[in-house]
Structure 1
Amino acid sequence: MSSHSPHRRETAMKTWIVSLALACCAGIAQAAPPSSASIEQLLALTGAERLLNDLGGITDQVLRTSMQDASQGQALTAEQQAVMDRMPAKLAALLREEMAWDKVKPHYVRIYQESFDQAEIDGLIAFYASPAGQAMVQKMPTVMAKSMAFMQVQMRSIMPKLNALVQDTLDEARQAKPPAD
């Protein structure tokens, strides 16, 4: 019986070492960040560059509407109106320059590498390569534009209530007794 004991211990030790090595390799494989190439493939499938470019147009539209709302009821001279009209175009140009795809793409890749593992990126690639994924990519700009328009309308109706709440709170705070010394 003792003659089998060293052999069993050796076998058990080898099994343990192999198991430990496999566990370490599996941990390393799971922890490995996704490749830049796969992230770039995902960004291409999702139309990230196009979405970034579209954001500038949406921002321009939102800004124009907001500026019209802000100046409503105020008499502006033609010169003042011309200044106000030029601002959205200047902002759009600034955003195009500062948020150009070649400037932000490396940051997107890094963020995706920090946020996803390779298996998740592979799953996302599979989804976005599918007809359903491509439908989402094609329709999401419309969904976002409609959502932003809805939020603008909501904010217009909420602002008077918000202003009243702030004013009521300030009035209540003024009427509160000062702290005793």
Structure 2
Amino acid sequence: MRKAAAIALGLLLAVNVHAQDSKQESVEALLEASDADAMVDTLYSQMNQMIEGMGRQLGIKPDEQPMFDAYMNNVFTTMKEDMSWAKMKGPMIEIYSKHYSEEEVQDMLAFYQSKSGQSMVAKMPAVMADSMQVSQQLLQAFLPKVQVMAQELQVQLQNHRTKQ
């Protein structure tokens, strides 16, 4: 009886491992079809724009530009090493496998392999770039308000602390 139970458990585990491998292969195909690695390149481009904007906000002077350029090069080299698709791919497969069923992965894969899905993949970098511009504009309007709120909080805290 124990032997039969052990064999049944072994078969069950083997089927489960095969199903997981199959699902991970499907997720990998989905990430490839959705051009997920290109999204990392889009992220690099957006980060570049943000850092260049930071240079303008810092008021980098012409004689300081070489220092800022060296900083930017260092940031991007480090980002490409630490946030490469090669490092992100495994964890992304695990995340998708955790949150999506095999059926959902197959449905998404079918979409991304369709004409509309490929159109979405092709247009997504432009959509992301436009979205980033809107976010930056909203952030520029938002940050001064937060700075005022932070100054008000600082005054309130100072007043409170002097009363104690």
Normalising by structure 2, we get a TM-score of 0.77
- Aligned match for 2:36, one of 40, 48, 54: 48
Bigger Rg over Cα: 1
- Aligned match for 2:100, one of 102, 112, 116: 116
Aligned pairs for 1:8-87 within 5 A: 33=20, 35-71=23-59, 76=61, 78=63, 80-87=64-71
What are structure 1's unaligned runs of at least 5 residues?
1-24
Bigger shift: residues 151-160 or 166-175: 166-175
* Number of corresponding residues: 147
CA distance, structure 1, for counterparts of residue 114 and residue 66 of structure 2: 47
Q: Give the superposition deviation at 1:59.
A: 0.9
Q: Give the superposition deviation at 1:176.
A: 4.5
Q: Give the superposition deviation at 1:83.
A: 0.4
Residue 3 of structure 2 corresponds to: none
CA distance, structure 1, for counterparts of residue 23 and residue 33 of structure 2: 16
Q: Give the superposition deviation at 1:118.
A: 0.4
Residue 145 of structure 1 corresponds to: 129
Question: Structure 1 residues 102, 176: closer, same or farther in 2, change over 3 A?
Answer: closer
Residue 7 of structure 2 corresponds to: none
Alpha-carbon RMSD across the aligned residues, in angstroms, is: 2.4
Which residue identity is paired with 1:148?
M
- Aligned match for 1:132, one of 116, 128, 143: 116
Which segments of structure 1 move beyond 4 Å, counting only runs of 4 or more?
176-179
Q: Give the superposition deviation at 1:102.
A: 2.2
CA distance, structure 2, for counterparts of residue 106 and residue 176 of structure 1: 51
Q: Give the superposition deviation at 1:53.
A: 2.2
CA distance, structure 1, for counterparts of residue 129 and residue 159 of structure 2: 44
Question: Structure 1 residues 101, 176: closer, same or farther in 2, change over 3 A?
Answer: closer
Residue 141 of structure 2 corresponds to: 157
Q: Percent identity?
A: 26
What are structure 2's unaligned runs of at least 5 residues?
1-11
Residue 169 of structure 1 corresponds to: 153
Which residue identity is paired with 2:40?
L
Normalising by structure 1, we get a TM-score of 0.71
Q: Deviations over 1:3-50 (max 9, x none)?
A: xxxxxxxxxxxxxxxxxxxxxx9xx98xx5452221111011100111
